Amino acid sequence: MRSWIHKYLPKKSSDIVGQDESVVKLKKFILDFKTQKKKAMIAYGPPGTGKTSSVHAIGNENNLEVIEVNASDFRNKDKVNSIIGAASKQMSLFAKSKVILVDEIDGLSGTKDRGGLLALIRIIKKTSFPMVLTAFDPYDRKYSKLRRICDLSFFDSLGYVDVFKKLSAICEKEGVKFEEMALKSIARRCGGDLRAAINDAQTLGSIKNSIEKADLENLPDRKQTETIQEALFKIFKTTDPDIALRSLDNVNIDYNQILLWLDANLPKEYKKPEDLYRAYLHMSKADVYSRRIRRWQHWRFMVYIFALISAGVATAKDEKYKGMVDFTETKRLLKIWMSNQKFAKRKAISEKIAKKTHTSVKNAIKDTFPYIKNIYLKNKTMAEGITSYLELSDDEVTWLRK
């Protein structure tokens, strides 16, 4: 049986789900390559959001050959030069031009790359063809030199509605009947990864040519995943430590995020001050073990952390509370993420300032960046000159103007 993922690969850029702005930017870079200042673009974001598919779709609709290599397949400069270096200079034999796609450059980050990243940077500077690199997090400091010579395009996680629409369209073409709620459940549990959702839908649809809610139990791997809300319900609505201990086994987020969820929702559920005090006491002990892990790397303490934030919190109350509480995500996670993004872009811009002004990044952030930021807010003409001089990307210019 042919995989639905390959069967329904996007043939045109308009077929890419939920990434209109990013695809337009990527397409403009590839088609107008000769007029672009940057010779490469980094398409970054979570897996399954259409980064690789977009490049192939743009190549297909514009008769461009796509030369795809996976960065995890090579780690030293000799292999990078022999595989990518040759492709960056030779004309295409099958199409009017070509695009070089280097997938998952995160595979180059580490001690095993042996000059692979630097070799890639040198190739980008001399390439005769557009190069697109895909990554999860290009703002890692290991990629600071690479970012300077690349433009960036962000592919965000897909919303479940977009995933559901794609799944329903595929099922209709395949003649697979489905319950709307079942298909929406698949769309929600994939975490924005369209590939994963299509795989799950095909797994269920191939069993009896239909997808029903009861069939979700047959899903491998991802059927085990539970939402944090489901885990919190088990912790807050039980006083049995055995039930609470198992509540976090299938939740796919780390314990730091779990602590933030508990912190945000505990006061909503536990109304008695004594219960709330005991619950926070267990959480504070978990935080102590967390700091010991960071300091001494004693990872065996992790079992104590999960016991304290699950069974400890569950048994902190004298009895189960009646009624239902809407468990909501803590806004601290969003604030932390936004802060990290803000400082990552500020540092990336300051690195370019430091290079041009022959100073340290630290001094650029402290002494020069505030003035640059102010110029972008108040002097458009001067800002355009700075953009050209520092070779800032569109993302960086947009961020400076906010």
Residues 87 and 11 in one domain: yes
Residues 10 and 142 in one domain: yes
Helix axes 331-357, 380-390, angle to 10 degrees: 70
pLDDT, residue 245, reads 86
Q: What is the pLDDT of residues 149-173, one digit of tens each?
A: 999 998 887 888 888 999 999 999 9
CB 202 within 8 A of CB 3: yes
pLDDT, residue 193, reads 83
Whether the pLDDT of residue 108 is over 90: the answer is no
Work out the pLDDT band at 222, boundaries 50, 70, 90: very low
Q: How far is CA 78 from CA 82, 90, 113, 177, 195, in A?
A: 6, 18, 11, 52, 33
User: Residues, the chain, total?
Assistant: 402
Ordered DSSP codes for 36-53: -S-SEEEEESSTTSSHHH
Q: What is the pLDDT of residues 64-78, one digit of tens each?
A: 888 888 776 665 666
What's the CA gap between 147 and 92, in Å, rounded? 27
Domain C-terminal end among 282, 304, 327:
327
Whether the pLDDT of residue 104 is over 70: the answer is yes
What's the CA gap between 341 and 334, in Å, rounded? 11
Lowest mean pLDDT across 85-94, 271-280, 290-299: 85-94
Whether the pLDDT of residue 270 is over 90: the answer is yes
Residues 26 and 101 in one domain: yes
pLDDT, residue 154, reads 87
pLDDT, residue 208, reads 81
Work out the pLDDT band at 223, boundaries 50, 70, 90: very low
What's the CA gap between 402 and 161, in Å, rounded? 29
pLDDT, residue 28, reads 94
Whether the pLDDT of residue 211 is over 80: the answer is yes
Q: What is the CATH number of the domain that holds 127?
A: 3.40.50.300
Q: What is the pLDDT of residues 362-391, one digit of tens each?
A: 999 999 999 999 999 999 899 999 999 998
Whether the pLDDT of residue 336 is over 80: the answer is no
Whether the pLDDT of residue 310 is over 90: the answer is yes
pLDDT, residue 259, reads 87
Residues 197 and 287 in one domain: no
Whether the pLDDT of residue 206 is over 60: the answer is yes
Domain C-terminal end among 279, 310, 327:
327
Q: What is the CATH number of the domain that holds 219?
A: 1.10.8.60
Residues 10 and 150 in one domain: yes
E strand or H helix at 132? strand 131-135
What's the CA gap between 149 and 145, in Å, rounded? 7
Share of the chain above pLDDT 90, in %: 30
Rounded to an integer, the average pLDDT of 206-212 is 83
pLDDT, residue 26, reads 94
pLDDT, residue 290, reads 87
Pick from 99, 25, 14, 90: nearest CA to 59: 99
pLDDT, residue 220, reads 55
What's the CA gap between 305 and 287, in Å, rounded? 8
Residues 146 and 213 in one domain: no
pLDDT, residue 224, reads 46
Q: What is the pLDDT of residues 174-204, one digit of tens each?
A: 898 988 888 888 888 777 788 888 888 888 8
Domain C-terminal end among 280, 311, 327:
327
Range of the domain at 174: 160-224
CB atoms within 10 A of CB 184: 18
The whole-model pTM stands at: 0.57
Residues 309 and 266 in one domain: yes
Residues 185 and 234 in one domain: no
Residues 70 and 145 in one domain: yes
pLDDT, residue 345, reads 84
State the average pLDDT for the chain. Answer: 84
pLDDT, residue 338, reads 65
Domain count, the chain: 4
Residues 176 and 145 in one domain: no
Rounded to an integer, the average pLDDT of 278-289 is 93
Residues 305 and 381 in one domain: no
CB 13 within 8 A of CB 23: yes
Residues 43 and 105 in one domain: yes
Whether the pLDDT of residue 342 is over 90: the answer is no
Q: Who's near 302: CB < 8 A, 6+ residues apart?
A: 255, 289, 293
